[in-house]
Amino acid sequence: MSNALNESKTESSSESTGVTTDVSTSTTTTGESDEQIRDEWSDFHFDGPAKLSVEDLNVHYGTDHALTDVSMEIPENSVTALIGPSGCGKSTYLRCLNRMNDRIKAARIEGSVELDGTEIYDANANLVELRKRVGMVFQQPNPFPKSIRDNISYGPRKHGDIDTGLLARLLGRDDTDEEIELVERSLRQAALWDEVSDRLDDNALGLSGGQQQRLCIARALATDPEVILMDEPASALDPIATSKIEDLVEELSEEYTVVIVTHNMQQAARISDQTAVFLTGGELVEYDDTEKIFENPESQRVEDYISGKFG
Amino acid sequence: MSRESYREELSALREAVVALSETVVDRLELALSSLATGDDEAARRVVDGDSEINDRYLELEGNCIDLFALQQPVAGDLRFVAASFKILTDLERIADLATNLAEYALDTPRSTVPDVDVQALGESVVEMVEMAINAYAEADAEACFAIDEYDDSVDQRCADASDAIVRDLIEREATATDSTIEDLLADVSRLLLTIRDLERVGDHAVNIAARTLYMVENDDELIY
């Protein structure tokens, strides 16, 4: 510790002579290895149960090591932000949480991901069920080229939760009322209902980008998920649409577990309860309460990254 | 290193806060010497100069707000700007107290109480302010605790001085006539206010140290 103090003094005295413009004043971060830092924040505790528990997760794409020994627990009904520079593995990590990387042939995934204590990489795991419970929203809004109504009801129909049409009517299993209710509920939850309630049969591609993204969120909510993964959901949107998505994320966290990848650090600071910082090499460098990360991070590398001293 | 102009703005803020503190300490010393010598011209310079300090204070406070709004500092940078923002207020208050002291000097006549050394107390609180600003400029956490301890002894000396002044009043009151009692009371209250203001300068030095400790170590132990 005294060593760290000395280092900082040398640093600041050179500042006062104007040699460097670095005004970093933290002494708690200097002189400690990332290994020591990890010990500090691995004590990060939260109240309530972990929705997702990730242990020693490693991902290789061919010879490229995209994620290195990542372990973290994600608390239920909260917003967890994943930040870090491009190529740091945060999207890879996100996609591991509902096995989206399974679709990439070159990807080799090792380690464990538990959802409510059950291993999702178990050979017997039901992928359809998993992705129903762990929904996803992508960077570019990607509604189906169908009506607004059909975008919402597509998932529940596929899962067999809703049955409509002539055959269903003949068999006495017609769920038209349920469908109407589901469409309205999902659109309301995604704060889109008031804008589209009078044109549910219009093609979804006619909506603005911000509306399309909220439709995609409504679509993800329609299958009644428990976890919502968002990969830069607002990066293609203007500030007003962005603030609507941000409000929505905060609201959703009352009932859902939200994990969000963002390049916008202020967005992470605004909306998340805890923040995980990934740095180059697919390494989780620090994971803690968002206030802690943005006010007093343990790692100097994290401090440099969030202060924009990188590169 | 990216965000060059942002880094330069942070450095400039630190230098400007230190420069303002130097002006404030000059004024404090001038006020103290006008108390000792009765130099009305020096005292007037302190009183008239206060608006200049207020202007500079508002300007630097605006710079901090600009940094918050435009650069969104985080982590160590955030603590640095937030601490500077608070420290600026303390510097402005110290300048106000220097103005008070200069105003007491302009009031005549001056009284003295044998057991009370206003100048020695003044030197101590000036030293505290200088120590505090050094700690800020050098990001020196240990010095912050030393300033806090220093303040305990200054508080004690101020309490003792006030007691001595009141005791002296009681003794002199016995021999005072109706015509001198008014002057005596005015003298004594001025002296008591002088002691109180010096004690407050010390408190502001502790505030600066407290914010500096927060800035350096994210430790709010000295902030009450």
- Chain B residues whose CB is inside 8 A of the A265 CB are 74
CA distances from A212 to A9, A142, A146, A237, B57 (A): 53, 7, 12, 10, 49
Spatial separation of the C-alpha atoms in residues A147 and A205, rounded to whole Å: 8
Residue ranges per domain, chain B? 4-217
Instruction: Give the count of Cβ contacts less than 8 A between chain A and B.
Output: 87
pLDDT value at residue B4? 84
In this prediction, residue A33 carries a pLDDT of: 67
Q: Within an 8 Å CB–CB cutoff, is residue B82 touching chain A?
A: no
B218/A296 CB distance under 8 A:
yes
| B80 has a chain A CB within 8 A of its CB | yes
Mean pLDDT of A196-219: 95
Class at the top of the CATH hierarchy for domain B4-217: mainly alpha
Return the half-sphere exposure (C-beta side, CA atoms, 13 A cut-off) of residue A288: 19
Percent of chain A with pLDDT strictly greater than 70: 86
The minimal CB distance from A25 to the residues B4, B8, B76 is found for: B76
Q: Are A311 and B2 an interchain contact pair (Cβ–Cβ within 8 Å)?
A: yes
Q: How far is B121 from chain A (nearest CA, A)?
A: 30
Residue B138 to residue A5, Cβ atoms within 8 A? no
The band of A26, judged by pLDDT with boundaries at 50, 70 and 90, is very low
- What pTM did the predictor assign? 0.79
* pLDDT at residue B112 in the model: 66
- Average pLDDT (B26-33) is 96
Mean pLDDT in residue range A192-217:
94
Residue A249 lies in a domain: yes
Model confidence pLDDT, tens digit, residues B14-27:
999 999 999 999 99
Q: Where residue A38 falls among pLDDT bands split at 50, 70, 90?
A: low
What is the rounded distance in angstroms from the CA atom of residue B106 to the CA atom of residue B48?
A: 13
A27 with B14: Cβ contact below 8 A: no
> What range defines the domain where residue A121 resides?
49-144+212-306
| Distance from C-alpha of A253 to C-alpha of A94, rounded to nearest angstrom | 17
pLDDT band at A2, cuts 50/70/90? very low
pLDDT for the residue A58 = 95
Residues of chain B with Cβ-Cβ distance to A7 below 8 Å are none
Are residues B75 and A306, on separate chains, in Cβ contact within 8 Å? yes
Residue A200 belongs to a domain:
no
Residue of B nearest to A303 (CA): B75
Q: Does ipTM surpass 0.90 in this model?
A: no
Q: Are A23 and B74 an interchain contact pair (Cβ–Cβ within 8 Å)?
A: no
CB-based contact A22 B1, cutoff 8 Å: yes
Is the backbone of residue A134 left (phi > 0), alpha (psi -120 to 50) or beta? beta
Instruction: Find the Cα–Cα–Cα–Cα dihedral A188, A192, A195, A197, rounded to 10°.
Output: -50
Give the range among A171-175, A217-221, B84-88, B129-133 with minimum mean pLDDT.
A171-175
Q: A interface mutation test: which of B74, B138, B144, B145 has the most A CBs within 10 A?
A: B74
End-to-end Cα separation, chain B, in angstroms = 37
**Which residue has better confidence, B127 or A32?**
B127
Q: Is residue A266 domain-resident? A: yes
**What's the mean pLDDT in A11-20?**
38
In order of A2, B52, B87, the CA distances from B80 in angstroms are 21, 25, 10
Using a pLDDT cut of 70, give the percent of chain B over it.
Answer: 96
Q: Count of domains in chain A? A: 1
Q: Which among A15, A265, A295 is the nearest to B78, CB-wise?
A: A295
Helix axes B141-175, B118-138, angle to 10 degrees: 160
Q: How confident is the model at residue A41 (pLDDT cuts 50, 70, 90)?
A: low
Does A22 have pLDDT greater than 60?
no
Asked whether residue A39 carries a pLDDT value surpassing 90, the answer given is no
Q: Within a domain: residue A124?
A: yes
Closest Cα in chain B, distance from residue A266 (Å): 8
Instruction: Report yes or no on A193 lying in a domain.
Output: no
Is A26 close to B75, i.e. CB distance below 8 A?
A: yes
Cβ of A12 within 8 Å of Cβ of B139? The answer is yes
Asked if residue A237 belongs to a domain, the reply is yes
Cβ of residue B3 closer than 8 Å to a chain A Cβ: yes
State the pLDDT at residue A40. Answer: 61
Cα distances from A94 to residues A67, A275, B52, in angstroms, run 11, 13, 56
Q: At CB < 8 Å, which residues of chain A contact B?
A: 5, 8-9, 12-13, 15-16, 18, 21-29, 265-266, 269, 294-297, 302-303, 306-311
Chain B CB contacts of A307 below 8 Å: 3, 73-77
Domain holding A133: CATH number?
3.40.50.300
Which chain A residues are closer than 8 Å to B138 by Cβ?
Answer: 9, 12-13, 16
| Chain B partners within 8 Å of A306 (Cβ) | 74-75
Nearest to A71 by CA among A52, A88, A85, A87: A52
Residue type, A276: A
pLDDT in tens, B87-135: 999 999 999 999 999 999 998 666 667 678 899 999 999 999 999 999 9
**3-state DSSP of chain A:** CHHHHHHHHHHHHHHHCCCCCCCCCCCCCCCCCHHHHHHHHCCCCCCCCEEEEEEEEEEEECCEEEEEEEEEEEECCCEEEEECCCCCCHHHHHHHCCCHHHHCCCEEEEEEEEECCEECCCCCCCHHHHHHHEEEECCCCCCCCCEHHHHHHHHHHHCCCCCCCHHHHHHCCCCHHHHHHHHHHHHHHCCCHHHHCCCCCCEHHHCCHHHHHHHHHHHHHHCCCCEEEEECCCCCCCHHHHHHHHHHHHHHCCCCEEEEECCCHHHHHHHCCEEEEEECCCEEEEEEEHHHHHHCCCCHHHHHHHCCCCC
Q: Is position A199 within any domain?
A: no
Query: In this complex, do B4 and A25 lie within 8 Å of one another by their Cβ atoms?
Result: no
Query: What is the four-CA torsion angle of B186, B189, B195, B199, rounded to 10 degrees?
Result: -140
Span A100-126, mean pLDDT? Answer: 91
- Chain A neighbors of B77, CB-CB under 8 A: 23-24, 307
Within a 10 A sphere around the Cβ of B147, how many other Cβ atoms? 26
Q: What is the pLDDT of residue B224?
A: 76
Q: Is B76's Cβ below 8 Å from some Cβ in A?
A: yes
At residue B223 the predicted structure's pLDDT band, cuts being 50, 70 and 90, is: confident
pLDDT tops 60 at residue A23: no
Share of chain B above pLDDT 90, in %: 75
Has residue A29 got a pLDDT over 50? no
| Contact (Cβ atoms closer than 8 angstroms) between residue A35 and residue A283 | no
The residue with tokens 């609507």 is A244
* Among chain A residues, CA nearest to B2: A309
B14 has a chain A CB within 8 A of its CB: yes
Does residue A67 fall inside a structural domain?
A: yes
d(CA B81, CA B78): 5
Give the model's confidence band at A36: pLDDT under 50 very low, under 70 low, under 90 confident, else very high.
low
The whole-chain average pLDDT of chain B stands at 92
